[in-house]
Amino acid sequence: MAKTTTKPATIGQLRESGYRPLPVKDEMRQNLIRKMRAGDELFPGVVGYEETVIPQVENAILSGQDIVLLGERGQAKTRIARSLVNLLDEETPAVAGCEINDDPFAPICKACQLRIAEEGDETPIHWVPRDRRYGEKLATPDITIADLVGEVDPIKVAEGRYLSDELTIHYGLIPRTNRGIFCINELPDLAERIQVGLLNIMEERDVQIRGYKVRLPLDVFVVASANPEDYTNRGRIITPLKDRLGSEIRTHYPRTIEHEVAIMEAESVPFALEGIETTYPQFMKEIIAEITHQARRSNDVSQKSGVSVRVSITNYENVMSNAVRRAIRQKERAAAPRVSDLSAVIASTAGKIELDTVGEAREEKIVEKLVRQAVSKVFRDYFDVTEFDQLVAGFEKGLAVEASDTQPSMEYVKQLDRVGGLKPAIQKLHGHGSPATVASAVEFILEGLHLNKRLNKEELAGQVRYRR
């Protein structure tokens, strides 16, 4: 008969098992070391930080330091904070019914102390899973000390307790994350008086609630996030609080197109359409990523607020949506994004970037400029314009090619025979396989030649014509 094991259910059983709870920072350090030795991935889904941010986070955890992640929007700060939960034990014991996950061997709340004094080793415990040991709050100016620390519960007072009785307290978010990880996003947005209260919890381990001083030696790992401009702005955050956060770690946007593409592929909503096969050419993925990289370098775009990777993700989705929409209307069985589908990025980019100039028309023009720059850059990565001398010669003899985001894919295939010099380039782009991928490659080549001043382009009523 198989032997069954049960987890301890009382303090006495826990003591007999030999279990010894660790402070949360020691627990995280121990689990980090174990994962590093095993070669486990520490931050799943976080791309491009392997040589920059992640080593600094590891150093902070090994040092037992609270951290603040500084970076513009869309730099995975919250994801990193939430991933830290994986460094906690799967479960940890706490006094049953305790609001602040009290350590059975060293309780800090009055209710647990009185209960253990009365029940001793028979005091029941429960096992808290790691995901319940994480707390998070977005800092806003209307946050009160009651939200973070606690407040006197009028119902408990009405039951006959004195205001000065610690048992009247209804604990806030930070005490309820005792023996866990607490994350506060956009830290500088906290009012100064609330920052002082947070400092007291972290440093002095006490706080005043309605004039009653409560000693709370909490065991919490604190991780904060902030925009660098706000964090370094005098008056937005009190100096003693900055001093209390051990490591200040700068995040950044993906530094390579490959990393940007990897994030787009991982985070975008996949298409699963019956009857339509979707293909996303690699060069189109790179164009989408390059649009974002161009925006991050553009003088027309405010760099203070940053250009989030969400721009890349939503652009990636919208361009494919435009291709699928065309396939549905044309009753085609395959869909692949084309250069003409890039008009769809205006809707998914405009609301996510801040311009140094004001005006709706201006915004659209800037996005179109970014698209042209991205297509031209990716085209030059793949080709030298001299590869298309034969093709350009055909256009000089009067050849013209029409394109649009509504044109059936087979129309591009039919034009291949009369447009010399395209087939090797399409092969280089891995465009052969379906009419949809051929159409995508043809448009990319023609637009690239136009942007590099080898072909002219006429635009009329949604159609474009490439000629010499």
Sketch out the chain's domains with CATH numbers.
11-250 (3.40.50.300), 257-467 (no CATH)
Higher pLDDT, 165 or 62: 62
Pairing of strands 134-138, 67-70: unpaired
Nearest to 11, CA basis, from 88, 112, 110: 112
pTM above 0.75, yes or no: yes
What pLDDT sits at residue 340? 94
Asked if residues 224 and 245 have their Cβ atoms less than 8 Å apart, the reply is yes
Residue with tokens 């603040």: 68
Element (H, E) at 129: strand 125-129
- Alpha carbons 229 and 154: distance in angstroms, whole number: 41
Averaged pLDDT, 419-423: 79
- Alpha carbons 422 and 446: distance in angstroms, whole number: 10
- 184-217 pLDDT, tens digit per residue, is 999 988 888 888 878 877 776 655 665 666 677 8
Asked if residues 147 and 42 have their Cβ atoms less than 8 Å apart, the reply is no
- Alpha carbons 111 and 445: distance in angstroms, whole number: 73
What pLDDT sits at residue 160? 57
Torsion over CA of 250, 251, 253 and 259, rounded to 10 degrees? Answer: 130
Averaged pLDDT, 384-394: 88
Asked if residues 353 and 311 have their Cβ atoms less than 8 Å apart, the reply is yes
Residue 123 has pLDDT above 50, yes or no: yes
Average pLDDT over the chain, rounded to whole?
87
Neighbour count for residue 197 (Cβ, 10 Å): 22
- 431-458 pLDDT, tens digit per residue, is 888 999 999 999 999 999 999 999 999 9
Q: What residue type is assigned to position 422 of the chain?
A: L
- 256-313 pLDDT, tens digit per residue, is 999 999 999 999 988 777 889 999 999 999 999 999 999 999 988 888 888 999 999 9
Residue 399 has pLDDT above 90, yes or no: no
What pLDDT sits at residue 250? 95
- 138-157 pLDDT, tens digit per residue, is 988 888 888 888 776 666 65
Beta bridge partners of 125: 95
Asked if residues 264 and 289 have their Cβ atoms less than 8 Å apart, the reply is yes
- Out of 158-162, 207-211, 331-335, 429-433, the most confident range is 331-335
Percent over 90 (pLDDT), the chain: 56
Torsion over CA of 44, 46, 51 and 53, rounded to 10 degrees? Answer: -110
What pLDDT sits at residue 409? 92
Residue 1 has pLDDT above 50, yes or no: no
